[in-house]
Amino acid sequence: MVESTVQQSRSRDLDKLLLRPGNLVGPNFEPGPGLREDLKEYVRVLVVGAGGLGCELLKDLALSGFREIEVIDMDRIEVSNLNRQFLFRLEDVGKPKAEVAARRVMQRVAGVNIVPHFCRIEDKELDFYSNFSIIALGLDSIEARSYINSVACSFLEYDADDKPQEETVKPMVDGGTEGFQGHARVIMPGITPCFECTIWLFPPQVKFPLCTLAETPRTAAHCIEYAHLIKWDEVHSGEAFDPDDPEHMKWVYDEANKRAELFGIPGVTLSLTQGVVKNIIPAIASTNAIISAACALETLKIASGCSKTLSNYLTYNGAEGLHTKVTEFVRDKDCLVCGPGVLIELDASVTLQKFIELLEEHPKLLLSKASIAHRGKNLYMQAPPVLEEMTRSNLSKSLYDLMGKIPKDVVHATGTTNKNDKKTSVLRKLRVVFKGVDEITDMETAAGGA
């Protein structure tokens, strides 16, 4: 009866989720047409990657009621993408993925606004990322995930009781596929494990010993890696191998073939060469579709509260029959990226030397011989001697000045601590807050004015 008074949108199924109350909904869920409008108005989603997962994600999010979407991808469209990256056509080959994907979805879904960014994720300032309500990841590399994770976690702030401050939590939804397998996960920095807490989930890459490649190749992959890692440098002195350059790839393929013939090894093909060199496992369109759907649904759940979110890691395996499972991973409480670290309050006058001494006495740390880093700057290094010498002059300076006169920030300290009478080396995250700094600034301003 209530529903009859509410105007239905063109997404009937979405209305069922957003307009009706339920028992399994998230906290503070307020169903109604207002929610439907707010999703459009106030939620900004960034999709990272416009490839196999990204195409699906953009389409899914656009059809799930999100209106403000942006997408970032540095790649251009290749012919081999066309079987699954369904937003692209043959005439698009060579064009930036982000731009074509954004345009195609906007053509098909009325009202949606997708802003493309054809660039590297590292090219964007932190401000760019802080603008989004939710970041959805459709990536294929650990490096890129680790990067975005550290960016999202850098917005996170903790209160005096080491509780994450809700307004600083930047939710991420991460999807990944390899052949018939995939995962979807929800990362709420400070609340659920971040990417770095569980980086061990990724198996190490298989790396063949160089001497095997040089002396005793036994497989087609050995021949390809020989051409790629050894022969290339021998022939192209100084020129870096570019895996995205078809001519480079062809050269490696030809060399691998010669080597395979020499050793009587079958199986070197161009696609295997690309696979080995770029570490590619053939992508399956349906796996991407399933994983992206899970990610889009989680994004909708986080934003609207229409259901509790995935807690927190879903694996999917469609290789034999179908197996899917959700595991609740736990945070690494000492995680250097998302953990709270140890809160330290200081006077702005404290020198770096004094600070290092304080860490030794701090009951939660008892950290002796500490080396200190702040946002990529090494303020003081105990070793090696060459770095000690380069950083020694900082010891007499005030930490506040060294940190660029900001009232609070994170620094990292490495040192030794006694654990059960054994000296162990530890790396700790410290939240440094300078006492009374705001007042000082005000006074300075006042004095300047007078």
Nearest CB to other proteins, comparing residues 147 and 180? 147
Judge whether 335 counts as a catalytic residue.
Answer: no
Residues in the chain: 450
- The angle, 0 to 180 degrees and rounded to 10, between the axes of the packed helices 33-42 and 12-19 is 100
Nearest CB to other proteins, comparing residues 84 and 428? 428
Nearest CB to other proteins, comparing residues 85 and 304? 304
Check 153, 194, 197, 211 and give the catalytic one.
Answer: 211
CA gap 48, 173 in Å, rounded: 10
Binding segment toward other proteins, per CB under 8 A, in 141-149, 243-251, 274-282, 352-360: 141-149
14, 17, 19, 35: residue in contact with other proteins (rule CB under 8 A): 35
Is 375 an interacting residue with respect to other proteins (CB under 8 A)? yes
Bridge partner residues of 410 (DSSP): 431
Task: Judge contact between 118 and 96, C-beta under 8 A.
Answer: yes
CA gap 126, 129 in Å, rounded: 5
Task: Judge contact between 181 and 288, C-beta under 8 A.
Answer: no
Give the residue from 271, 273, 282 showing the smallest Cα distance to 226: 273
Is 289 an interacting residue with respect to other proteins (CB under 8 A)? no
Torsion from C-alpha of 289, 293, 296, 298, nearest 10 degrees: -140
- Which residues, 379 to 408, sit near other proteins by CB under 8 A? 381-384, 386-387, 390-391, 404
State how beta strands 342-347 and 422-435 pair. Answer: parallel
- Residues ≥6 apart with Cβ < 8 Å to 28: 305
- Which residues, 191 to 230, sit near other proteins by CB under 8 A? 196, 199, 202, 204-205, 207-211, 214-215, 229-230
Is 171 an interacting residue with respect to other proteins (CB under 8 A)? yes
Burial bucket for residue 352 (CB in 10 Å: 0-12, 13-18, 19+)? buried
Give the residue from 266, 262, 186, 199 showing the smallest Cα distance to 231: 262
Cβ at position 120, least distance to other proteins in Å: 13
Nearest CB to other proteins, comparing residues 167 and 421? 167
Nearest CB to other proteins, comparing residues 33 and 318? 33
Nearest CB to other proteins, comparing residues 21 and 246? 21
State how beta strands 377-380 and 368-374 pair. Answer: antiparallel
Is 433 an interacting residue with respect to other proteins (CB under 8 A)? no
- Which residues, 39 to 58, sit near other proteins by CB under 8 A? 39, 41-44
Active-site residues, by number, are 211
Binding residues (CB under 8 A) for other proteins: these are: 28, 35, 38-39, 41-44, 125-127, 130-131, 133, 142-143, 146-147, 150-151, 154, 166-167, 171, 196, 199, 202, 204-205, 207-211, 214-215, 229-230, 233-234, 302-305, 336-337, 371, 373, 375-378, 381-384, 386-387, 390-391, 404, 409, 412, 414-416, 425, 427
